[in-house]
Amino acid sequence: MDPRYQEADIVAAIEHLHQVGGNKFSEKVLDEGRQVYRGEESGSWKPSEAIEGKDVLLIGSGPSVRLHRDALQRYIRDPVIFSV
């Protein structure tokens, strides 16, 4: 993880990019997203704890997902067959 960003910054930036349409990189837009979250954190769910020690697959929304859909589904069902 980038040490410049706290977990709340990342979540706020992702939500901001979702709202403004983050279809290309802009450092200005990314920094604006960091300013969206204000106030104290609430709740007890901690993503870092929920996924600690687990393999995590992040899938973007680009066109390659559709292109590689079958392979992604096979990997999700049985990741061992893809291990090196």
**H or E element in which residue 40 lies:** none
Q: How confident is the model at residue 38 (pLDDT cuts 50, 70, 90)?
A: low
- Judge whether 1 lies within some domain: no
- Judge whether 2 lies within some domain: no
- Judge whether 28 lies within some domain: yes
Q: Which domain holds residue 42?
A: 7-82
Write the CA distances from 10 to 46, 56, 84, integer angstroms: 13, 17, 31
Give percent of the chain above pLDDT 70. Answer: 73
How high is the pLDDT of residue 48? 87
Distance, CA of 45 to CA of 69 (rounded, Å): 30
Q: How confident is the model at residue 67 (pLDDT cuts 50, 70, 90)?
A: very high
Distance, CA of 81 to CA of 40 (rounded, Å): 44
Distance, CA of 71 to CA of 47 (rounded, Å): 26
Contact 10, 31 (CB under 8 A): no
- Judge whether 37 lies within some domain: yes
> Model's pTM, two decimal places?
0.41
How high is the pLDDT of residue 43? 83
- Judge whether 22 lies within some domain: yes
| Number of compact structural domains in the chain | 1
Mean pLDDT computed over every residue of the chain: 78
